[in-house]
Homo-oligomer: A and B are copies of this chain.
Amino acid sequence: MKPTEGRRRIVIEEVQPQVDAARYPAKRTLGDLVTVTAAIFGDGHDRVAARVLYRHASQSTWKQARLTALPNDFWTANFVVDKLGPWRFTIEAWIDHFDTWMHDLEKRLKAQPDPKEPTQQISTAQDIPLALRIGAGHLDAAAARAIGDDARELKAAAIDLRSMADANEPLYGPIDLDDIALVAAKYPDLSFATKYATEIPIWVDRERARFSSWYEIFPRSCSPAPDKHGTFRDLAARVPEISAMGFDVLYMPPIHPIGVAFRKGKNNSVTAAPGDVGSPWAIGAKEGGHTALLADLGTFDDFAALVKATKANGMELALDIAFQCSPDHPWVTEHPEWFIQRPDGTIQYAENPPKKYQDIYPLNFESKNWTGLWDALFGVFEFWIERGVRIFRVDNPHTKALPFWEWCIAEIQRTTPETIFLAEAFTRPHVMYSLAKGGFTQGYTYFTWRNTKADLQSYFEELTAPPVVEFFRPNVWPNTPDILHEQLQEPDPISRRAMFLQRVILAATLSSNYGIYGPAYELCEWRPAKPAPGKPGSEEYLDSEKYQLRHWDRRAPISIAPEITQLNRIRHENPALQRNENLSFHACANPNLLCYSKSTPDLANTILIVVNLDNRNEQAGTVDLNMAALGLPWQGDFEVEDLLTGARFLWRDQRNYVALRPEVPAHILRIVR
């Protein structure tokens, strides 16, 4: 069957940014310049014109920007997203007959016989007048589409062309049509324009979605007195010093009543001793569940004071949302249909046979009352949003139904688009990426287990290039309360400090979003829990804060807090480090030296980083820079300033020698322009 209009001769393909054929939005942040590219072409040699149409979803009219041609039938345009939330864009393209005519005329005029060389004879006598008349026709048509002065101007230009045709005098130079072409371009003939079939979604988050520094802390360990249960007030008192370190997100593990049934004791022992505080992730007791506070931490007033203290210090509070219940959670009795019931009437606890987690009841996303469950979970977010929280770290989202997240996050961001969701999913790549596509603002990563140069480079190349960079924002953590990587389990204090420095430098410079499980990282806490007999080494902390209070002495001499403070300052002062799609790696033959850079789009700020991955030995080598990525000529001197030491070096051309000792395991070089 023929199309309704067979004269739409343009094809529009490969439109970017686009995630899974526009099934999911590409992510950007407020104020970003969105660079659209597309392949746009038609049959034959006619010239093409195209524009991108874009709008915030709340607006009914499109704004537009002309696309400009790149090589190989690709086109590009930019637009700024200046409002949070959902945007749409699409592309419209058409054959520009006036532009085609202008370029042909230019070639015709160039081919005219040169009056100084009368031997040349190209018989074009009638061609030029005819061409002028054809052009006049195009201008008439444009005038009919135009309004006001523009219409008059176009009509006048048409009359001029016809007069020239009537005069039929030889024309040797080019005719200046640039001005009238600009007017004509405002009134394109869209009768046979092709519109891209899809309106492509973009989601715009606030800046913190792209650039954030997280500090995780257990409020119950914040009391100045050892062995005393800490409170929100205790934590609020420490906010100024955490803020002074340069962190902007203060993240607390769950703050709800903790279950008593099957409570875990210290070091995850199966039976709790009297006085054991239990795991904050065993959520719910008779006092309440996900919308209640653990009384030992304080009241809602205390919580509000903490929210206020973080704001006053330029920080934000992030809550941990773990959708699971202790056997004592009110939902267990109020909504037994939200859980899996076994044939004996008991509720199915969490299992990974033969392992059992009898202190945790998972929710059943195949519940007959799934809509009630979804509403209740949504309500948990709503509850804390009403209390001033706008950042949520979601615990194990990959064990909850993916369609739930897509609905829930969209529903929340519909009214509070500034809400940020960090997915704590350490699972298979497809599932992690699917959570991001479905709406999670940021995601935890495999960074902790990417420890060699090859692994770091290939992983961050994947994360910072399309398609992944369009939807997945990494938030990289050198440690978490669950993960003390083997690399950090270093008994020797000198090598240990070097390794902790190395990993936090990598995290803070490879990724614009990063975080640390704060007190343990600052103090280079390294002792792992004893592995089970016959099992490989554990990544659990010894005396883990997950099961007991800890008292951290932030003044201990091993503390790397000063270096972390410096790192955060460098991140704040250098916008190149505040985004990820600008990451480039540079070659170095030494497998222990990782070299990479980030630049702002305008190249005003370029940071070049070299990290020594060996925490025991000095490593040296020649880095072989990709000068184009640095915005530098391939040859010539350039100055670099080491932002860690303040030293300045003069580097020459692309190959430069570097030596790094473990104590200061990196250069963070700003290119001085």
B402, A343: Cβ atoms closer than 8 Å: no
Q: Is A3 an interface residue (CB 8 A)?
A: yes
Query: Are the CB atoms of A342 and B39 closer together than 8 Å?
Result: no
**A104-112, A502-510, A557-565: which one contacts chain B?**
A104-112
The size class of the interface chain A forms with chain B is 35 or more
Q: State whether A430 touches B399 (Cβ < 8 A).
A: no
The CA of A42 and the CA of B110, in the complex, are separated in Å by 65
Q: Which of A130-138, A260-268, A616-624 contacts B (4 or more CB under 8 A)?
A: A130-138
A434 at the interface (CB under 8 A from B): yes
In contact, A73 and B6 (Cβ under 8 angstroms): no
Q: Which of A323-353 contact B (CB under 8 A)?
A: 342-344, 351-353
Contact B8 A354 (CB under 8 A): no
In the complex, which residues of chain B have a beta carbon less than 8 angstroms from the beta carbon of A72?
A: 428-430
* Cα–Cα, bound, A39→B1 (Å): 35
Determine the distance from Cα of A394 to Cα of B404 in the docked complex, in whole angstroms.
52
Q: In whole Å, how far is A571's beta carbon from the nearest beta carbon of chain B? A: 33
Cα A219 to Cα B110 in complex, Å, equals 42
CA distance A69 to B42 in the complex (A): 42
Residues on the B chain within 8 Å of A428, using CB: 41, 72-73
Q: Mark A400-422, 1 if CB is under 8 A from B, else 0.
A: 11111001000000000000000
Which of A363-371, A534-542, A578-586 has 4 or more CB atoms under 8 Å from chain B?
A363-371
Chain B residues near A124 (CB-CB < 8 A): 354
A377 to chain B minimum Cβ distance, whole angstroms, is: 11
CB of A403 within 8 A of CB of B3, answer yes
CB distance from A408 to the nearest CB of B (A): 10
Q: Does A66 contact B (CB under 8 A)?
A: no
Within 8 A of B (CB), among A431-466: 431, 434
* Cα separation A135 to B45 with both chains bound (whole Å): 68
Q: For the complex, is A11 an interface residue (Cβ under 8 Å from B)? A: yes
Which residue of the partner chain, among B11, B134, B352, B398, contacts A434 with CB atoms under 8 Å? Answer: B11
B430 touches A7 (CB 8 A): no
Is A133 within 8 A of B43, CB to CB? no
Partner among B104, B344, B354, B402 whose Cβ is within 8 Å of the Cβ of A353 = B104
Question: Is residue A44 contacting chain B, with contact meaning CB distance below 8 A?
Answer: yes
B107 touches A353 (CB 8 A): yes
Cβ-defined contact, B404 with A344, below 8 A: no
Q: How many copies does the complex hold?
A: 2
Tell whether A384 is near chain B: CB-to-CB under 8 Å: no
Query: With an 8 A cutoff between CB atoms, is A175 at the interface?
Result: no
**Cβ A434 vs Cβ B108 within 8 A:** no
A 369-411 to B, binary, CB cutoff 8 A, 1 in contact else 0: 0110010000000000000000000000011111110010000
Q: Is the CB of B130 within 8 A of A342?
A: yes
A122 within 8 A of B: yes
Q: For window 94-115 of chain A, which residues contact chain B by CB distance below 8 Å?
A: 104, 107-108, 110-111
Contact check, B134 vs A342: say whether CB atoms are below 8 A apart. yes
0 or 1 for each of A119-144: is its CB under 8 Å from B? (1 = yes): 00010101000100110010000000
A624–B412 CA distance with the chains assembled, in angstroms = 58
Produce 1/0 per residue, A36-66, CB < 8 A to B.
0001011111000000000000000000000
Determine whether the beta carbon of A43 is less than 8 Å from that of B343: no
Judge if A149 is at the interface, Cβ distance under 8 Å: no
Give the CA-CA distance A130 to B351 in the complex, in Å.
14
Per the bound structure, the CA–CA distance linking A42 and B434 in Å amounts to: 10
B41 touches A108 (CB 8 A): no
B contact residues around A627 at 8 Å (CB): none
Which residues of chain A in 1-40 are interfacial with respect to chain B, using CB atoms and an 8 Å cutoff?
1-3, 6-9, 11, 13, 20-21, 23, 39
Q: Give me 21 A-to-B residue pairs in the complex whose CB atoms sit less than 8 angstroms apart, sorted by A's number.
A: A1-B407, A6-B374, A6-B401, A7-B365, A7-B370, A9-B366, A9-B402, A9-B403, A11-B434, A41-B434, A42-B401, A43-B400, A43-B402, A72-B428, A72-B430, A73-B428, A73-B429, A104-B351, A111-B354, A126-B344, A130-B342
